[in-house]
Amino acid sequence: MQLRLNPILAGAVLIWAFSAPAQVGSPAKTTARRVSPKLIPASTSPAHAYKVKATLLRQSVDIATLLFSGDGRHFAFATGKDKQQSVIVDGQPGPAYDRIIKGSITFSPNGKRVAYVAARGYKKLTVVDGEGGPASRPQSVPDQGYKRITLVDWDGGVGFDAVSLTIFSPDGKRTAYTAQDGQDKLLVLDGLIVTAYDGLLSGFPIFSPDSTRVGYIAVNGRKRLVWVDGVPGSDYDRLAALTFSPDGKRVAYAAQSGDKSVAMVDGDASPEYNGIVDGTLIFSPDSKHVAYAAQKGEKVVVVVDDQASAEYDAIDRGSLTFSPDSKRVGYVVEKGGQWLVAVDGHESAGCGTVSRGSPIFSPDSMHVAYECLKGGKWSVAVDDQFGAEYERVSPTVFSPEGVLEYIALNTEGSLYRIKNTPRQH
């Protein structure tokens, strides 16, 4: 038998389900309560404060390929069949191809440009703003160190054997993608084929935040090398974590040769460690400082501007963060079987678990908050002062005014919105 719920009553069921306390640690003995929502007559519903106008944009849309831009102002989808497929962008059809590769439609960050992969026969090409393929034949730029390539079977820009999804620069003005033609692995940057190696690591190339620079990690035989703005670096056994500073002027990455690893920052090597922990290499917001976690024997240290912290058993990889003013640094580490938060070298009390996303700094960088699970109960600490204990708490967030907010569920199944307001407020 199929059960159908009245939409209003369904809301009551959802409220009842959410008010039941989650069992964390030692279960508390509680009674779930059913909450009936207050019904709002249609004539006084808040939705009637707006005048609604619906405009038909398109009929018969292929939901499987439909994509919206990040700003919600544009749409694109594939249409057609039998070697006459095209992409419709904001109602305007693009050129026809044998087929459009499913899942390849991509909008630029600002939503103003669109790219996708199309096929003609056995060849594939990237179409950007309705134009397909590189604009010119392969070129070499000797003064920038690009490797000369010759594609004897390349047919003037019709396509390649395989192409990746298009990567747009943050400002949406530049494009990059990788391609393969025969045995050649290629990078197509702004419509120009610029280099070929044995391959590029997954996730590359990347653009700097200001969109002026581009970098990638190339595979060259058994070695890896970093290219930034056409200039190759040295060969290493392993490379990772290529990143630009927020202002785009600095570059850093993790490099390994043999059993020793270093952080390369603007071409200079850090002290050697047994490894650089993946996902920890970051720049400060003002681009002046660099931090990462490193393996030192069986322990882990956090390194800020080449200065190492105390040794710990482990680190939460996503926790390392700078304060907004770039003067403070915090992270979550394990020590003696307990997880704790360390800020500027000061260690908090131990927790069974510290929530992902912790710690966070206030907008003025003066305060630090995190969620701690201890003895089966959650509490939120602000500057190491713990609040009340709850069954569950939501992720904490600071408002622009510095007010810390979160939602908490107590043992009776009641939800509270908690606000920690600075004294001056």
Give the length of the chain: 425
pLDDT digits (tens, 9 = 90+) for 28-60: 333 333 333 444 444 444 555 666 677 777 777
- The DSSP H or E segment spanning 12 is helix 7-19
Instruction: Give the torsion sign (CA, 310, 314, 319, 320).
Output: positive
Q: List Cα–Cα distances, 376 to 336, 351, 388, 405, in angstroms.
A: 19, 10, 13, 22
Q: List Cα–Cα distances, 209 to 227, 246, 260, in angstroms.
A: 17, 6, 30
Hey, where are the domains in the chain?
316-425
| Res 10 pLDDT > 60 | no
Q: What is the pTM of this model?
A: 0.72
Amino acid (one-letter) located at 280? T
Tell me the average pLDDT across 4-19.
33
Rounded Cα gap, residues 247 and 266, in angstroms: 14
The listed range with the strongest mean pLDDT (47-61, 163-177, 253-267, 411-425) is 253-267
Higher pLDDT, 184 or 382: 382
The listed range with the strongest mean pLDDT (16-25, 71-80, 306-315, 388-397) is 306-315
CB-based contact 22:415 (threshold 8 Å): no
- The tokens describing 334, both together, are 């394990």
- The DSSP H or E segment spanning 14 is helix 7-19
Strand partners, 251: 244
Tell me the average pLDDT across 298-320.
94
Choose among 367, 326, 335: nearest CA to 354.
Answer: 335
pLDDT digits (tens, 9 = 90+) for 84-115: 899 999 888 888 888 898 889 999 998 899 99
Q: List Cα–Cα distances, 365 to 361, 400, 402, in angstroms.
A: 5, 12, 9
pLDDT of residue 25: 34
Choose among 364, 385, 315: nearest CA to 372.
Answer: 385
Strand partners, 371: 380
Choose among 377, 376, 382: nearest CA to 403.
Answer: 382
Band the pLDDT of 219: cuts 50, 70, 90: confident
pLDDT digits (tens, 9 = 90+) for 314-372: 999 889 999 999 999 999 999 999 999 999 989 988 888 998 888 999 999 999 999 99
pLDDT of residue 373: 92
Beta-sheet pairing, 299-304 with 314-315 = unpaired
Higher pLDDT, 74 or 42: 74
Band the pLDDT of 133: cuts 50, 70, 90: low
Higher pLDDT, 302 or 137: 302
pLDDT-above-70 percentage for the chain: 80
Rounded Cα gap, residues 284 and 169, in angstroms: 21
Q: Is 413 helix (H, G, I), strand (E, B) or coil?
A: coil
Which residues contact residue 181 at a Cβ distance below 8 angstroms, ignoring those fewer than 6 apart? 151, 153, 154, 160, 161
Amino acid (one-letter) located at 339? W
pLDDT of residue 137: 40
Report DSSP letters for 266-328, one per residue: TTEE---BSEEPTT--EE-TTSS-EEEEEEETTEEEEEETTEE---BSEE-TT--EE-TTSS-
Rounded Cα gap, residues 383 and 366, in angstroms: 9
- Nearest-5° Cα angle at 371, 367 to 375: 135
Instruction: Give the torsion sign (CA, 334, 338, 339, 343).
Output: negative
CB-based contact 301:313 (threshold 8 Å): no
Choose among 231, 215, 121: nearest CA to 176.
Answer: 215
pLDDT digits (tens, 9 = 90+) for 272-299: 999 999 989 999 999 999 999 999 999 9
CB-based contact 164:177 (threshold 8 Å): yes
The listed range with the strongest mean pLDDT (14-28, 123-137, 284-298) is 284-298
Residue 251: phi and psi, rounded to 5, are -140, 145
Q: Mean pLDDT, the chain, as a whole number?
A: 79
Band the pLDDT of 186: cuts 50, 70, 90: confident
